[in-house]
């Protein structure tokens, strides 16, 4: 079976070496030496000033909203993973959706100002498939209206924009280190910020509000990464250049062999060094997508309708039509993309799609 993704497993001896350190230290959690080392290694690798490793990629968004949301309206995108909207609602804020750009698939910055009200407290925008938002315009709007900017950068490990890490933009950026991501800790994530003062607040919030063993800065939650997760990250990180290079080969193959007269691919924003995190294709209709998905499944190929549905259609939000996002969500599908995908498998994928695209959908 060819799945949409496969977790990269480092050589087991390298993971076991990290595990041995845990056994030697007899320390499993509460920010042990492996977590601290991983954070330091990531700061150096990514070129960021502040990072807090966390136990998953959703808690960083929730913590940022706890700090910045204040129960207000959060301008956000309808085209993202459900965690983006769910975190807003979970933190007792109100998502206000703004439609997306038809090519970049990120929030349409030209439509943001019209959505701002006196209740707006922050903008939560997603860098979709690792493709950056128009950060210059978004942050200019935020500054003019005294709003905070949170970037859901779950897909963005290794992405640079205008020659610096995408995590350096906004008041806060978050990332997922889930097993499906190109850099992973099994389950995990991180939050990034440039301000040392903000870092201190984020740190307290992710560790029960502790300000020393017996004092408390304020309310907090338990979002700490464990030593076991950090061990996986320390074993994966030395392979990250190989992982990205191998994924690029798959993307290059698709770019060279798919017929883009009947489908289209993601447009990467200018000034971006992309990380080849996903390969979405957009079909002419949902019917054609479903037809091709079935033919791929018949050949034991399992793509994913990601993202679907559009988040403005979720049952726990107030529906407002987002024509572009709703249309894209019905017609987009991510093709298999992972280290170890063979050329024979890639040829099978593009052949099945090519044959299906040529045929007329059944009436």
At residue 123, what are phi and psi to the nearest 5 degrees?
-115, 125
Is residue 187 within 8 Å of 232, Cβ to Cβ? no
Q: Which strands sit side by side in the sheet containing 164-165, from one edge to the other?
A: 164-165, 160-161, 272-273
Note whether 35 and 139 are same-domain residues.
yes
Is residue 145 within 8 Å of 116, Cβ to Cβ? yes
Structural domain tally of the chain? 2
At residue 30, what are phi and psi to the nearest 5 degrees?
60, 50
Element (H, E) at 289: helix 286-298
Q: Per the domain annotation, does 363 fall within a domain? A: no
Q: Per the domain annotation, does 2 fall within a domain? A: no
Kindly state the DSSP code that residue 307 receives in the 8-state scheme: S
Q: Per the domain annotation, does 3 fall within a domain? A: no
Element (H, E) at 21: helix 12-25
pLDDT tens across the length of the chain (363 residues): 999 999 999 999 999 999 999 999 999 999 999 999 999 999 999 999 999 999 999 999 999 999 999 999 999 999 999 999 999 999 999 999 999 999 999 999 999 999 999 999 999 999 999 999 999 999 999 999 999 999 999 999 999 999 999 999 999 999 999 999 999 999 999 999 999 999 999 999 999 988 777 778 888 999 999 999 999 999 999 999 999 999 999 999 999 999 999 899 999 999 999 999 999 999 999 999 999 999 999 999 999 999 999 999 999 999 999 999 999 999 999 999 999 999 999 999 999 999 998 875 454
Is residue 54 within 8 Å of 190, Cβ to Cβ? yes
Q: Which residues pair with 124 in a beta bridge?
A: 76, 150
- What tokens does 55 get? 């136990």
Write down the pLDDT at residue 210.
85
Say which residues have a Cβ less than 8 Å from residue 270's Cβ, sequence separation at least 6: none
What predicted TM-score, i.e. pTM, was given to this entire model?
Answer: 0.96
Say which residues have a Cβ less than 8 Å from residue 360's Cβ, sequence separation at least 6: none
Write down the pLDDT at residue 217.
83
Crossing angle for the helix pair 240-257 and 343-358, to the nearest 10 degrees: 30
Note whether 288 and 191 are same-domain residues.
no
Note whether 251 and 171 are same-domain residues.
no
Note whether 274 and 344 are same-domain residues.
yes
Alpha-carbon distance of 264 to 328, in angstroms, equals 11
Q: Per the domain annotation, does 117 fall within a domain? A: yes
Write down the pLDDT at residue 216.
80
Note whether 88 and 223 are same-domain residues.
yes
Write down the pLDDT at residue 363.
45
Q: Per the domain annotation, does 107 fall within a domain? A: yes
Write down the pLDDT at residue 360.
54
Kindly state the DSSP code that residue 125 receives in the 8-state scheme: E
Is residue 301 within 8 Å of 352, Cβ to Cβ? yes
Q: Per the domain annotation, does 124 fall within a domain? A: yes
Alpha-carbon distance of 56 to 184, in angstroms, equals 10
By residue range, what is the domain housing residue 327? 239-358
Note whether 221 and 257 are same-domain residues.
no
Q: Which residues pair with 210 in a beta bridge?
A: 216
DSSP 223-246: -BPPHHHHHHHHHHGGGHHHHHHH
CA-to-CA separations, 58 to 20, 36, 66, 78, 151, in angstroms, rounded: 29, 21, 12, 17, 12
CATH number at residue 158: 3.40.640.10
Note whether 111 and 154 are same-domain residues.
yes
Alpha-carbon distance of 275 to 206, in angstroms, equals 28
Domain limit, last residue, from 188, 205, 238 = 238
């Amino acid at each position: 079976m060819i799945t949409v993704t496969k977790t990269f497993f480092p050589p087991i001896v390298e993971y076991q070496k990290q595990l041995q350190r845990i056994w030697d230290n007899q320390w499993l959690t509460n920010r042990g030496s492996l977590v601290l080392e991983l954070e330091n290694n990531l700061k150096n690798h990514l070129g960021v000033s502040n990072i807090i490793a966390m136990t998953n990629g959703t808690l960083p968004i929730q913590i940022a909203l706890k700090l910045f949301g204040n129960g207000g309206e959060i301008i956000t995108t309808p085209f993202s993973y459900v965690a983006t909207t769910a975190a807003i609602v979970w933190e007792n804020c109100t998502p206000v959706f703004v439609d997306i750009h038809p090519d970049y698939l990120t929030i349409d910055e030209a439509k943001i100002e019209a959505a701002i009200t006196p209740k707006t407290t922050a903008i939560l925008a997603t860098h979709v498939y690792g493709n950056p938002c128009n950060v210059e315009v978004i942050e200019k709007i935020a500054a003019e209206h005294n709003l905070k900017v949170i970037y859901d950068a779950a897909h963005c490990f290794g992405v640079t924009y205008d020659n610096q890490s995408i995590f350096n933009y906004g008041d806060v950026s978050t990332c997922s280190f889930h097993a499906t991501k190109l850099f992973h800790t099994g389950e995990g994530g991180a939050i990034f910020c440039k301000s040392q003062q903000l870092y201190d607040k984020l740190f307290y919030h992710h560790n029960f509000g502790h300000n020393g063993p017996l004092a408390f800065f304020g309310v907090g939650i338990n979002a700490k990464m464990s030593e076991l997760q950090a061990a996986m990250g320390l074993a994966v990180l030395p392979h990250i250049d190989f992982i990205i290079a191998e994924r690029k080969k798959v993307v290059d193959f698709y770019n060279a062999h798919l017929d883009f007269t009947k489908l289209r691919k993601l447009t990467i924003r200018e000034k971006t060094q992309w990380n080849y995190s996903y390969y979405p294709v957009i079909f002419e209709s949902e019917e054609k997508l479903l037809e091709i998905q079935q033919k791929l499944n018949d050949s034991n190929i399992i793509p994913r309708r990601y993202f679907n549905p559009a988040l403005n259609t979720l049952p726990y939000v107030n529906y407002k039509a987002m024509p572009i996002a709703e249309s894209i969500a019905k017609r987009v599908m991510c093709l298999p993309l992972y280290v170890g995908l063979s050329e024979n498998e890639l040829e099978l994928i593009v052949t099945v799609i090519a044959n299906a695209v040529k045929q007329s959908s059944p009436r």
